[in-house]
Structure 1
Amino acid sequence: MSARATAFPGLPFLSGMPLRLIVGLILVVNGMFPALWILFTSLKTEAELTRKPITWVPDDPTFQNYVQAFTDQPLLLFLFNSFMVALLSTAATLLVSTFAAYALARLSLRGRDLILSAIIAVSTFPLVTLLVPLFEIMRSLGLLNTWLALILPYTVLSLPVCTLVLVSFFEAIPRDLENAAMVDGCTRIGSLFRVVVPLSAPGVFTAGILAFVNAWDEFLLALSFNSSPQLRTLPVGITLYQGEFAFPWPVISAALVVGIVPVAVLIVLFQERVVSGLTSGGIKG
């Protein structure tokens, strides 16, 4: 098949363009369109949103929806709860997955392949099937309506993916570097955190961002385990903007944009490390 598009009936501007470029543009538009639509909706009035024909870009952008998003509901509280839960669960996930990945990468474990297969299998379980058992566990422990009710499940749910990411990086670190560190007086744990983890920084950042985003976006457990208004996370809090018979989409979109910003900033700040971690993990794995 030719690498160039030769004829596109009705789309003459695509004639002669590389096929890979066209496919890339389609993927970019498909990925960016929902985010752009939410952004444009957050800048429209209710009247402009329901106007026919549809206007894609707001004629008269307004920031009143953002003001209303912070005044109608305690959006800052939702952001704070989500940030703390995501941050603490990410820290716990990285700590546990680091030890688990190091054991799988370095120790001569009997049934190592079986353990890795079990990790992959567990990561495929639908969350809804775990809801009732997790709820019963949290209730029996008296953790409902606490941050721990979310931090512990989020940590467990992110562990399989983060462990698999870190295993591929730890296996690529030469053992001689650890041995040299231990000859110089480091313990095995010391060599892990002073040699292996720093050299696997792209993988650690990748695992951390995956865990953070999973916790930041999660809705089902946050809705089921925390009914206290003071503990609502952002995904649950956004649902409170809708009325009994009305859906103020511009205000809801403004709240969504505010919720997207922290994750977007995180990705931008650590973009190079994340891309390096994903590509290196794919090559080494």
Structure 2
Amino acid sequence: MTIQTAAQTTRPGVRSSRDAARMRRGIPWGSIGTYVLLAAITFFCLAPFYWMFVTSLKGSNEIFDNSLWPINPTLDNYAAVFGAQNTFVFALRNSAIIASCVTVIALFFGVTAAYAIARLEFRGKNVVLGLFLATSMFPGVAILTPLFQLFADLGWINTYQAMIIPDISFALPLGVYILVSFFRAMPWELEAAALVDGCTRGQAFRRIILPLAVPGVFTTAILVFISAWNEFMIANAMSQTPAAQPVTVAIAQFTGISQYDKPYGTQMAAGVIVTIPLIIIVLIFQRRIVSGLTAGGVK
């Protein structure tokens, strides 16, 4: 007992001497390297947005001078964005309607499908999940021509549903993939306790599982909304008049401040305006996004 007590009393001293030795070694180069790497990644991600903002403040004679800040900042590009008979405002409205509809419909089917795959036992559910993921890897350009022919026969060209339905087909696998991992991380005892208390399977899902899945559902909603907001290829083919064009198509068809002007500055200004709502959403709900992405990682 005496030897053991002496060993226990010397352990703090040994640890403190080791810590002091580590502190005397010098600068923690490992931590500095990590911060340098994070700073480089941040610069790599934010540099295009900064350049887009700077270019939007330049006049047509300064676009190609490669300066880090405009010599004579101007808001003419922003005025030109909203000056063409409010077509850009209509495009913003169309994008908001399309992205909202895609998000709501994809969440409804995604939550139910993910819950069935993660919590219910049935034959071939792994095959179903694999098919969901396989559709997300299918190139959209391969189905663009048959989709256009189909929607033309139905009279859906220049309508919202011609863009909403294809967007759902690409957004739904993303939502199912995120929500399946989230539902699988939930304890099975929650449903068992609800069933013992007299709830049916549907009641246990609505009253117990779904409220606890709010972070994952919220994260999925934001990712699906951003994906639908940024979609261009299908929208460019299905919308041929300003009445139904989303903002991504409207930006591609800008003509500039004057008739013979290159539209780079106007397009950059429109890109800044379109990006601002997404940045605001992410900054406001960043805690929910992080909690939703990490909730399924630890049991």
Given the two structures, how large is their TM-score scaled by the length of structure 2?
Answer: 0.83
After TM superposition, the structure 1 stretch with the greater mean CA deviation from structure 2, 63-72 or 230-239, is: 63-72
Where do residues 138-217 of structure 1 align in structure 2 (5 Å cutoff)?
Answer: 138-182=151-195, 186-217=199-230
- Give the Cα–Cα distance (whole angstroms) in 2 for the partners of residues 248 and 36 of structure 1: 18
Aligned-residue offset at 1:136: 3.0
Question: Are the structure 2 counterparts of residues 186 and 84 from structure 1 closer, same or farther at C-alpha, using a change threshold of 3 Å?
Answer: farther
Where do residues 1-285 of structure 1 align in structure 2 (5 Å cutoff)?
Answer: 18-51=32-65, 54-72=66-84, 74-182=87-195, 186-242=199-255, 246-282=261-297
Q: Which runs of 5+ in 2 are unaligned?
A: 1-28
Q: Match of 1:267, as an amino acid?
A: V
Q: Match of 1:40, as an amino acid?
A: V
CA contact (8 A) 2:136 2:174 kept: yes
CA contact (8 A) 1:78 1:231 kept: yes
Corresponding residue for residue 10 of structure 2: none
- Give the Cα–Cα distance (whole angstroms) in 1 for the partners of residues 280 and 198 of structure 2: 40
Look up the SS of the partner of 2:118 in the other structure: helix
CA contact (8 A) 1:65 1:250 kept: yes
Corresponding residue for residue 9 of structure 1: none
- Give the Cα–Cα distance (whole angstroms) in 2 for the partners of residues 231 and 165 of structure 1: 31
Q: Match of 1:57, as an amino acid?
A: W
- Give the Cα–Cα distance (whole angstroms) in 2 for the partners of residues 115 and 17 of structure 1: 44
- Give the Cα–Cα distance (whole angstroms) in 2 for the partners of residues 138 and 183 of structure 1: 50
Question: Are the structure 2 counterparts of residues 183 and 144 from structure 1 closer, same or farther at C-alpha, using a change threshold of 3 Å?
Answer: farther
Q: CA RMSD in A?
A: 2.2
Question: Are the structure 2 counterparts of residues 194 and 142 from structure 1 closer, same or farther at C-alpha, using a change threshold of 3 Å?
Answer: farther
After TM superposition, the structure 1 stretch with the greater mean CA deviation from structure 2, 237-246 or 248-257, is: 237-246
- Give the Cα–Cα distance (whole angstroms) in 1 for the partners of residues 30 and 289 of structure 2: 34
Q: Match of 1:19, as an amino acid?
A: G
Larger Rg: 2
Question: Are the structure 2 counterparts of residues 82 and 245 from structure 1 closer, same or farther at C-alpha, using a change threshold of 3 Å?
Answer: same
Look up the SS of the partner of 2:182 in the other structure: helix
Q: Which runs of 5+ in 1 are unaligned?
A: 1-14
Aligned-residue offset at 1:245: 5.9
After TM superposition, the structure 1 stretch with the greater mean CA deviation from structure 2, 165-174 or 79-88, is: 165-174
Q: Match of 1:258, as an amino acid?
A: I
CA contact (8 A) 1:241 1:247 kept: no
- Give the Cα–Cα distance (whole angstroms) in 1 for the partners of residues 56 and 296 of structure 2: 38
Look up the SS of the partner of 1:71 in the other structure: coil
- Give the Cα–Cα distance (whole angstroms) in 1 for the partners of residues 142 and 55 of structure 2: 35
Aligned-residue offset at 1:62: 2.0
